[in-house]
Amino acid sequence: MMLRKPISVVWPFLLIAVEAASRGQSGLELTVRHDSLGIELTWKPLWASPENAPLRTLAAGPVYEVQTSSNLVQWTSSGQRLDAGWSSSEALLKLRVQPTAAGTFFRVVGKLDLAGLNLADKDLRGADLSGANLSGTDLSRAWLRRANLAYTDLSRAKLRDTDLFHADLTGANLRGTDLSGASLARTSLHQTQIGRDTLMAPKWMLVRDLAVSQGFRRDLRGAGLSRASLGRTDLSNAMLQEANLASADLAESDLSGADLTGADLTGANLVRARLRGAKMVRAQLSQADLSGANAAAADFTQANVAGASWNRANLSHAVFLGTDFVRWIVPIGTIFHRTVMPDGTLRTDTDSFRLLVEVITDGAAAPNLEAADLSEMELSGVELSRAKLSFANLRGAALSHADMRSADLDQADLTEADLTYADLTGAGLASAKLAAADLRNARLNRANLRNADLRGANLSYADLRLAALPSAENLAGAILLGARLRD
């Protein structure tokens, strides 16, 4: 039986520890009271989650046993046991340990024995059975979606046609287990123990094999691995051409150098995956989540990336030729450095632009972007109120509908920028370059435009009430059709 790392309290000459047979528990809150009669241990019960309610009418609940040791390696039962039944999560369990010789160590071990029971067709969705003894138990057709079965003994158990979607079977004993027809989509099979008499569909046997023995340089061409749970799996340099990995969980997996040409990764979870140098030519990545992935030097040529998430991904030297990747996409914190865009141009974002991305997407207070080079950027609708943008290069930038209220744009270059419907109320634009800028329907009331260059700018229907305007010379050729200059 697998045991939890103990939570211990040190007393003179005595160590007291409480352990759980369940590796799935988050930890016991142990209280120790020492008096003349001995030592009283108090803790919250295990396996007390509401999802375990269907078991309470069928089986005895957890049993807690006191064990002793002189060396913390070999443990023997003290004969003290507590049959707690199915205690509620609010209840507290207590055991009194009698005084003993100095140098004796104690622990309390929780055990849940459900061996041989008939639990077929039971609704145990989300149940916590981690560390339990389910040897020979009939769980055929049971609903065990998202159940915690980590380190359970399921040897010789029947799980025919059982729904185990997204269940945790980490470290479970599956020797002699019948899993024929079971749904194991997104189920964790890491460290599971199987034997020749384990009955499992070939697809899930392969998933288990990859999860346990890893897939470094494995030939998996055309493999059907849709909805497989392969998080943190080593698939580096694997051959996965034309493999079906749709909706698979590959979070934090190592796919560096892997060949995924033509693979189907639709809706796959690739969060924080390592994709450095991976070949993703013509791969289907629509709706895939690549947030935080390291895709440096990966080749996405002609891949379908519609709707994929790239937040905080590293796309340095990645290739997107022939894809529908939007050139000026603004995902949170994504790194572009000599990234080959669909039209063959190279994209390298400056530190200022990456900082701006954080502001736009995270809603942080505007940083100091003075003298930042944001020329020709697609920044429509951005939130830049009170931003410090003096001396910034915004030449040709798309700022339609941008919120730039009270922003500091003194001496900024906004030549030929698109500022239609932008809100520049109270903005500082002293000596700014706005020649040929499109300011139709922009709000510039109370803005400071002294010495600004507005020659040839289009200010049709702009709101210029209470604005400090430049000289007539700096307004030469400007269009003021329908502009509001006073109340």
Please give the pLDDT value at position 135.
95
Higher pLDDT, 49 or 466: 466
pLDDT tens-digit series, residues 106-152: 777 788 889 999 999 999 999 989 888 999 999 999 999 999 999 99
* Higher-confidence position of 315 and 78: 315
Specify the pLDDT at position 12: 33
DSSP notation for 68-124:
EESSSSS-EEEEEEEE--S--TT--EEEEEPP--TT-EEEEEEE-B-TT-B-TT-B-
Higher pLDDT, 409 or 10: 409
Q: What percent of the chain has pLDDT over 90?
A: 48
Of 72-81, 163-172, 333-342, 416-425, the least confident:
72-81
Please tell me the predicted confidence (pLDDT) of residue 355.
61
The more confidently predicted of residues 265 and 191 is 265
Is 2 a residue whose pLDDT tops 60? no
Structure-model confidence comparison of residues 423 and 63, the more confident one: 423
- Looking at residue 351, its pLDDT comes to 63
Q: Which tops the pLDDT comparison, 290 or 89?
A: 290
Q: How confident is the model at residue 31 (pLDDT cuts 50, 70, 90)?
A: low
Measured from the Cβ of residue 306, the count of other Cβ atoms closer than 10 Å reads: 15
Instruction: Please tell me the predicted confidence (pLDDT) of residue 46.
Output: 81
Q: Which CATH class is domain 365-487?
A: mainly beta
Residue 85: per-residue pLDDT: 79
- Which residues make Cβ contacts (< 8 Å) with residue 54, sequence separation at least 6? 122, 123, 124, 127
Cβ neighbours of residue 293 under 8 Å, at least 6 residues apart? 270, 271, 272, 273, 274, 275, 310, 313, 314
Q: What number does CATH give the domain 7-111? A: 2.60.40
Where are the domains positioned within the chain? 7-111, 365-487
Q: Are strands 105-111 and 14-20 parallel, antiparallel or unpaired?
A: parallel
Percent of the chain with pLDDT over 70: 84
Least confident of 83-92, 352-361, 368-377: 352-361
Q: Rounded CA gap, 225 and 162, in Å?
A: 19
For residue 474, give the H/E element and its range.
Answer: none
Which has more pLDDT, 9 or 207? 207
- The pLDDT assigned to 66 comes to 80
Mean pLDDT confidence for 446-452: 96
Are 264 and 243 within 8 A, CB to CB? yes
The least confident of 25-29, 81-85, 190-194, 322-326 is: 25-29
Selection from 272, 305, 271 nearest residue 289 by Cα: 271
Average pLDDT over residues 41-59: 79
DSSP string, 46-60: SS--GGGGGGTTTS-
Mean pLDDT of the chain: 84
Verdict on whether the full-model pTM lies above 0.85: no
Lowest mean pLDDT among 88-97, 224-233, 288-297, 457-466: 88-97
Coil vs helix vs strand at 302: coil
CB 307 within 8 A of CB 329: no
| pLDDT tens-digit series, residues 95-105 | 777 666 666 67
What amino acid occupies position 348?
Answer: T
First to last CA, the chain: 82
